[in-house]
Amino acid sequence: MNYLEALSRRYSVKKFNNQLIPQETLNNILESGKLSASSLGLQPYKIVIVGSEEMKQKLIPAFYNPSQISTCSHLIVIISKKTIEEHYIRGYFNHISEVRDTPLEELDPFKKSISQHITQKTPEEIFNWAEKQSYIVLANLMYAAAIENIDSCPMEGFRQDVIEEILNINSETEKVTVTLALGYRSEEDNFQHMKKVRKPNEKLFKFI
């Protein structure tokens, strides 16, 4: 399937058919999340994959519309960091040094400039910045799923406090930003037959 066909076929599924995604396909989709670009490469998020029926059942009350979560194969939960601590930056540079076999001293100027950049931001700015990075992951996961012929529904319609309690999130340092249900569309989901509603090109694009 070419990418425009995949993106046209994709829609936000309201009801899945309970079929499970093969592990290898799921791994490929997750790899696209891992390969996402992030500002400064800091990946200020983590990705929780809910596959167990027990956990999905527990999470149903957290969603305003339970039909996706009760019928999907997997629910992906993207959690943003609210703070970027000095030790997190240190860990990032140790990792670069290890993966690229580069002495830490060589990376020091880059590390200093990142630390400086981060410490200049207010906590609110850090969180807004971190949250934006999560949406790049979301878009890549949705795109990869579409190419793999897997259906999805991005969802922000959940109760923050409930989902965070169930997933044992420390709300001082982390926040559930957005979720993505993955699976296969149900034949009963009428939304699959509806035309896409998008702004006309002249309202969306401006060529200068």
Ligand X SMILES: Cc1cc2nc3c(=O)[nH]c(=O)nc-3n(C[C@H](O)[C@H](O)[C@H](O)COP(=O)(O)O)c2cc1C
Binding site for ligand X (CB under 6 A): 11-12, 65, 153-157, 178, 196
| Nearest approach, Cβ of residue 96 and ligand X (Å) | 31
Instruction: Please choose, from the candidates 180, 154, 183, 179, the residue with its C-alpha nearest in 3D space to the C-alpha of residue 18.
Output: 183
CB nearer to ligand X: give 111 or 132: 132
CB nearer to ligand X: give 58 or 132: 132
Within 10 angstroms of residue 3's Cβ, the number of other Cβ atoms is 10
Q: Closest CB to ligand X belongs to which residue?
A: 157
| Nearest approach, Cβ of residue 77 and ligand X (Å) | 13
CB nearer to ligand X: give 87 or 198: 198
| Nearest approach, Cβ of residue 43 and ligand X (Å) | 19
CB nearer to ligand X: give 13 or 169: 13
CB nearer to ligand X: give 118 or 142: 142
| Nearest approach, Cβ of residue 136 and ligand X (Å) | 12
| Nearest approach, Cβ of residue 174 and ligand X (Å) | 18
